[in-house]
Amino acid sequence: MMRNTQPEPWRVKVVEPIRRIDRSAREESLSRAGYNIFGIASEDIYIDLLSDSGTSAMSDAQWGGLMRGDESYAGGRNYYRFEETIRSIFGLPHVIPTHQGRVAENLLFSTVLKPGEIVPNNTHFDTTRANVEANGGVALDFVIPEGREPRTRHPFKGNMDLVRLEKCLAENRGRVPLVMLTLTNNSGGGQPVSLENVRGTSEVCRRHGVPLIIDACRFAENAWFIKQREKGQESRGVGEIVREVFSLADGCTMSAKKDGLANIGGFLALRNETWVERLKNKLILIEGFPTYGGLAGRDLEAIAIGLEEVLHEDYLAFRIGQVTAFGEALSAAGVPVVEPIGGHAVYVDARAFAPHLPPEQYPAEALTIALYLEGGIRAVEIGGVMFGKPDPARPGREILPDLDLVRLAVPRRVYTNTHLEYVAEVTARLRATPERLRGVRIVHQAPLLRHFTARFELL
Ligand SMILES: Cc1ncc(COP(=O)(O)O)c(C=O)c1O
């Protein structure tokens, strides 16, 4: 049983039917997809934990906001509300809307980064890394050592290693155009960054005259962890914590598909004007006029409302409580999970789950397949399929990552505790008989980002 002591701070007004097709239909659907869960139609999925991005349920206020969309080409009223909301939450005056987070990253790096320059981060999310590298930059990850160990407990495993950051800035004077800090650290298991660490990162950046830009995707979830776990922060409001965090930065990139509680959208917000004109000129080229930036007026309205709703503390208590209770239920059933449980997802250690499968047989892909076959559940592999690279020293073999994880990402306001209890039960059943999991062999792959389209054969 899941022990989420926080009840939902909403009641249900609209329902979207989901169905669990029977096992033989699931087998057929999976085999048609080449055993890759990305290839399965969402109608054939019962519980979809593929991503927390863009999958939120909007509130009645957000749906109402859609009707107030002003679709004028320039100067639409929803933009001004969007801008005002971002200014008041983050205290950043220059607001540039984009249609999702990676476009904010693309705009930023294609404008301020020169080939050969370095961008440090606690851990780059894959689109952030790709945008740095596509512009000729070098993306470096400086998360604290605890952040790399799945079972080490630390309240802020997303923290930046300030010693390594300091050393990097001192050794590369003039070659670091900005430092990024990702809240929460998605690629490191959704682990939070403490306020003290944001202060420290900001202080190192200021001393070296380098701007600090926050990846704000999960800014509210991060602030909730600060309130819960950081000494001296427990009696502050989440909004106040957010305001202090961003007062320490020079700007942020944001995907509103996470803590914007919207299905699409993003923005770039900056404290000073230096880069703004160049960014807006490029925005016009790739997204649209600066008062809509690739979004409809109605989307801007829904995001502005979502950014306010996400700071409601009863919402955050339920949200983080639900993900934590889900992770604890799995752990209590003997499922090896990354600890402590992060903000938006639970990560299962697939090598420990199915020790009979060697890394070369992609155990996390095997578990992902088994979850679908057993219960119609969609999760995602974050392991050898996603990160494996050909080994130049051993033809036909691969350099595999240290971990094979399965991420169970929890969409916001979408699934009830009962849904997640069902997922925990199915996973526990598989854990009781792990030898049922079959490894896979890749029979087709693309040269880049192969995990999206690879096809597999069961071993
Ligand atoms: C930390 C982080 N940064 C950036 C992005 C990119 O955002 P988007 O998918 O809206 O382009 C994501 C998306 O998952 C993310 O988790």
Q: Give 146-200 pLDDT, tens digit per residue.
A: 998 888 899 999 999 999 999 999 999 999 999 999 999 988 889 999 999 999 9
Find out whether 100 and 318 touch, Cβ atoms under 8 Å.
no
> Which protein residue has the closest C-alpha to ligand 1 atom 9?
101
**Contacts of residue 172, Cβ cutoff 8 Å, sequence gap at least 6:** 118
Whether the CB-CB separation of 219 and 261 falls below 8 Å is answered with no
Quote the tokens at residue 336: 């090896």
Determine the distance separating the centroid of ligand 1 and the alpha carbon of 255, expressed in angstroms.
6
Q: Which of 255, 264, 449 to mutate to test the pocket of ligand 1 (most atoms within 8 A of CB)?
A: 255
What is the predicted pLDDT for the residue at 6? Answer: 84
Q: Please give the backbone phi and psi of residue 141, each rounded to the nearest 5 degrees, phi first.
A: -105, 125
C-beta 98 within 6 A of ligand 1: no
ω before 9 within 30° of 0 (cis)? no
Q: Output the CA 257–ligand 1 centroid distance in Å.
A: 8
Residue 124, ligand 1, Cβ within 6 A = no
Q: Check residue 318 and give its pLDDT.
A: 96
Average pLDDT, the chain: 96
Q: Tens digits of per-residue pLDDT, 83-122?
A: 999 999 999 999 999 999 999 999 999 999 999 999 999 9
- The whole-model pTM stands at 0.95
**Look-up of token digits 């250690």:** 349
Residue 80: its pLDDT value, please?
A: 98
Could you tell me the sign of the dihedral formed by the alpha carbons of 133, 188, 101, 209, in that order?
Answer: negative
**Ligand 1 pocket, 265 CB below 6 A?**
no
340 vs 322: CA distance, rounded Å: 14
Mutate to test the pocket of ligand 1, among 127, 215, 257, 258 (most ligand atoms within 8 A of CB): 127
Q: 160 in the Ramachandran plot: left (φ > 0), alpha (ψ -120 to 50) or beta?
A: beta
Q: Residue range 245-257: average pLDDT?
A: 98
What mean pLDDT is predicted for residues 428-446?
95
What percentage of the chain carries pLDDT values higher than 70? Answer: 100
Tally Cβ neighbours within 10 Å of residue 400: 18
The model's pLDDT over 25-47, given as tens digits with 9 standing for 90+, comes to 999 999 999 999 999 999 999 99
**In whole angstroms, what is the distance from residue 301 CA to residue 63 CA?**
9
pLDDT surpassing 80 at residue 448:
no
The CB of 125 under 6 Å from ligand 1? The reply is yes
Question: 403 pLDDT band (50/70/90 cuts)?
Answer: confident
- Cis upstream peptide for 184 (omega within 30°): yes
Q: Does ligand 1 lie within 6 Å of residue 217's CB atom? A: yes
Q: What is the per-residue pLDDT for 446?
A: 87
